[in-house]
Chain A
């Protein structure tokens, strides 16, 4: 056990924790916007898989990382439009349609992966980009300031998201649409437009989350490579009390426990590995049970209509 608690190991856990938090952060921040506007999108994991595939496919064929990111976000945009149409126009049950979208993404990404005979070799992903001066700081320089660009952007999005939500006219519309859509509607705010925007933005973030895995973290594509990560992202939104800061804390906590679990295995510490793998999920369930429901947007997952005809 003592082996686990040496300074280098702890720094290692911190470093991987920050790195691993990236896909969660993109996906969960995006999902947070969808939910704040009143729509639960359970298709995040499927969108991530499609995004991961698209990014990897483009990069392995063109070598252009930026193009890979754009492809992932484009795929997210398209899938977001589908989810918006189904939940806003068709007023479908959101849980079911989200699961449908997930299965669609899971199946299609695997199918395309097989049919397009995509390379199974690792690509050259986003390189580490040490931040001058800061990365030279002892210990924490390595932990926080020697990551690739996608990691920095993910964390930079946290204050941006909080600002947009709390200090812009758009953010106010989003909050109102998620809490009392009829009030927003009666003031001439188009609830449909706000929800389309948030769901689609959230899905683009999910696509980006997928790219951050396949061309930023692992630099490979595998079938079902997210293994449920998108669902954890949805849970993190609840855990984080629908605030960007809460979501970030949740993502870090979750990925730290995940990193710890990896080290436990690497160091061959005598804990059953199955148990170690379960640890982050147990934590998630515990956090959800203990979490506060009070902050939940009041109209979450309720379709809105004026009731005319």
Chain B
């Protein structure tokens, strides 16, 4: 038996065979075969809802499979609870951190473990071991720090330490990079490679194509609960993986003509000067942001979430009071304008929280489509809604923007994330805006719908619309933007031309390191 540096036996092979799991109305896993070997990083790739987390939760004893078998080193095993899986050497990093924020790192690690002092906690010993493991795997954390004080990256390290401490020989990582900055992802990948070299078996779940290509040895693609492909990663392209994920060819890079040179007397569509805004806690969330966007241009805003992007979008859409500075749209001062005044001035918005700020959940599809325009012709006259005009235009919009909905009367909350986003897009673009403030347009949206949304945004760019595109998805920013600004602690670190913006450069700027 080969031992790992942590002193535990390796898991030479894990094999999941014919795993089937049904939830009310959903076949989440449909005869899934999956395997991973010691020393291997096997990526599990798929759109939201493809069934990746469900598969892993069965491996970890959180759900029981309806059918199928889990074999460890050739022997069939049954995991009825996480403790069974932990005892078998399986660790899991969950999509949402499983840490108790008010406890210390050591307490989080020690939770549920037997102590060397019987019923009494032995946190000193735990802390020492945490430091040893941290040393070996470059996972430095302060054992007596409380978890809520740690950065997201550090919290991620604590999660891995928890698994290593329990002697996990196989680690399932469910979208571990979703919350990390590009810098942190780099560090994190080093840790994963180190673990694989030591003989750990790793399952890496993601829907980010370049990460999968970067880190994994093999990749399994899931779609609608089924495995559609398993092959070595070497030689796969992003286009191939995207196509497998979605089930049809997908474009990841878009051809877009350059922005024409500015005319001498051209007025920028959006001009922001020295903008200051307070955050929810009363501290300045924006501390002097200046930018300008021309007609037919997309300005991307990159940054780790929480650096003022949300407040910027709210200030520019009239949802947050500007404490200092100026905002001009098409030359008109709209610093303190209401949302209605902005709409009238030709501005549209796609809010970050689409379920909260983008639609009224319980309203029907058509009600949401006329949300801002119901007060005037042709949708109403003298306070009465004109249902015929509403139905006619909404039906056209739903068709134009391929919003998949059973009917116009369907409550919006029953639609998938991607379709709700298309609905919002339809409503906001139907006005033919000259300026669009657009935040996280494809967050949580599947690749197929993302591609569609991107095409629509580029179409409007062709038409001359100016776009402020706030996104945490670097691929998206690089695919769409003409220039990319990086936000850090309420200021713009730099504004780069798209041609100069590499992920490495952006990553450094996002971490607050000036180029």
Q: Which residues of A contact B (CB under 8 A)?
A: 167-173, 175-176, 179-180, 182-190, 298, 306, 308-309
Contact = CB atoms under 8 A, between A and B. Distances in A.
A104 B99 CA distance: 39
Interface of B: 23-24, 60, 62-64, 81-83, 86, 92, 94, 98-103, 107-108, 110-115, 119-121, 162
A188 B91 CA distance: 11
A168 B100 contact: no
Nearest to A189: B112
Contacts of A298: 101-102
A169 B121 contact: yes
A183 B98 contact: yes
Contacts of A187: 82-83, 86, 98, 111-113, 162
B111 A176 contact: yes
Q: Chain A: interface secondary structure?
A: helix
A190 B60 CA distance: 15
Which 6 residue pairs are nearest across A and B when measured between Cβ atoms?
A188-B83, A187-B112, A183-B98, A189-B112, A186-B98, A180-B100
A180 B110 contact: no
Given A179-B103, A180-B98, A183-B99, A306 B63 contact: yes
Task: Give the one of A170, A171, A180, A186 with max B CB within 10 A.
Answer: A186
Contacts of A168: 119-121
B82 A176 contact: no
Contacts, number: 77
A209 to B, nearest CB: 26
A173 B83 CA distance: 14
A308 B62 CA distance: 8
15 contacts: A169-B114, A172-B110, A173-B112, A179-B101, A179-B103, A180-B100, A183-B98, A184-B111, A185-B82, A186-B92, A187-B162, A189-B111, A189-B112, A306-B62, A308-B64
A76 to B, nearest CB: 23
A187 B111 CA distance: 7
A172 B86 CA distance: 19
Given A179-B103, A306-B63, A170 B98 contact: no
A239 B92 CA distance: 39
B168 to A, nearest CB: 12
Contacts of A179: 100-103
A173 B24 contact: no
Contacts of B113: 169, 187
A176 B103 contact: yes
A188 B119 contact: no
A101 to B, nearest CB: 29
A176 B119 contact: no
Given A183-B100, A306-B63, A169 B119 contact: yes
A186 B82 contact: yes
A278 B115 CA distance: 49
Contact of B121 (A172, A184, A185): A172
A254 B62 CA distance: 46
Contacts of B94: 186
Given A169-B121, A189-B111, 18 more contacts: A168-B119, A170-B119, A172-B111, A175-B102, A175-B103, A176-B103, A179-B102, A179-B103, A182-B98, A183-B98, A183-B108, A187-B83, A187-B98, A187-B112, A188-B82, A190-B81, A298-B102, A306-B62
B7 to A, nearest CB: 20
A169 B111 CA distance: 7
A176 B82 CA distance: 16
A167 B111 contact: no
Contacts of B82: 185-188
Contacts of B110: 169, 172
A308 B63 contact: yes
Given A184-B111, A188-B82, A188-B112, A176 B120 contact: no
B86 A180 contact: no
Nearest to B162: A187
A169 to B, nearest CB: 5
A171 B107 CA distance: 11
